[in-house]
A and B are shown apart, each in its own frame.
Chain A
Amino acid sequence: AQSVTQPDIHITVSEGASLELRCNYSYGATPYLFWYVQSPGQGLQLLLKYFSGDTLVQGIKGFEAEFKRSQSSFNLRKPSVHWSDAAEYFCAVGAGYSGGGADGLTFGKGTHLIIQP
């Protein structure tokens, strides 16, 4: 069964500093990988996705993520965070519709990002 681990429950970063959020997955084949962001009181919004090809993917709001098959990782990065980036971030792995479920996604438990002034 697929699984996702986000090792950091909370991360605190100073505004303007760089950010890296970790995500490790377990999946038997080439995975579909996603990062979602949840701002306070809101639903989740898709930041970026990886299906195949270039292992460095760009997303919205200046985020990027790198797929490393050898490490089973899909870490999210941003060179300079803004106070508005404070949110909960979820990594997800999917099998596609053939894997069961309308979206076939398994979510990590999330990383809460705190931005210090």
Chain B
Amino acid sequence: EAQVTQNPRYLITVTGKKLTVTCSQNMNHEYMSWYRQDPGLGLRQIYYSMNVEVTDKGDVPEGYKVSRKEKRNFPLILESPSPNQTSLYFCASSIAVGELFFGEGSRLTVL
């Protein structure tokens, strides 16, 4: 089954404690993205990757890092999380313009 898998789905952490949200897709897509979803703000792109070892900033990259060492994986790294990074995070992949496949989301709370 074609899917985008994110882990963890839920996480509560404390300010400053580094964390990684993993994302893996099994569709051989070249393009992958990370979004955050906040009430009243919709979805905002954090980072994207056009292919292995090619990443670039989206609209709200501050406080986040990504890497793309393999085609299927695109982890999101919060080096020093802060409360304003409390959000619902989505990973997505695509092979064609705009046709995104989304993961089920990772709800992160930073205390």
Contact = CB atoms under 8 A, between A and B. Distances in A.
Interface stretch (A13-21, A73-81, A96-104): A96-104
Interface string A86-117: 00001010101100011111011110000000
Contact of A44 (B32, B44, B50, B90): B90
A107 B43 contact: yes
B76 interface: no
Interface residues of B, number: 26
A49 B99 CA distance: 8
A109 B98 contact: no
B98 A102 contact: no
Contacts of A110: 42
Interface stretch (B14-22, B79-87, B100-108): B100-108
A32 B96 CA distance: 11
A28 interface: no
Contact of B98 (A42, A43, A103, A108): A103
Contacts of A42: 104-105
A42 to B, nearest CB: 6
Contacts of A107: 42-44
B97 A45 contact: no
B31 A102 contact: yes
A17 B31 CA distance: 39
A44 B103 CA distance: 8
A77 B44 CA distance: 25
Contacts, number: 71
A61 B92 CA distance: 21
Interface string A20-50: 0000000000001010100001111110010
B41 A109 contact: yes
Interface in B52-111: 56, 58, 90, 92, 94, 97-100, 102-105
Given A97-B31, A107-B44, 14 more contacts: A34-B98, A41-B104, A42-B105, A43-B4, A43-B90, A43-B92, A44-B43, A46-B99, A94-B97, A94-B98, A101-B45, A103-B97, A107-B42, A109-B42
Interface of A: 32, 34, 36, 41-46, 49, 51, 90, 92, 94, 96-97, 101-105, 107-110
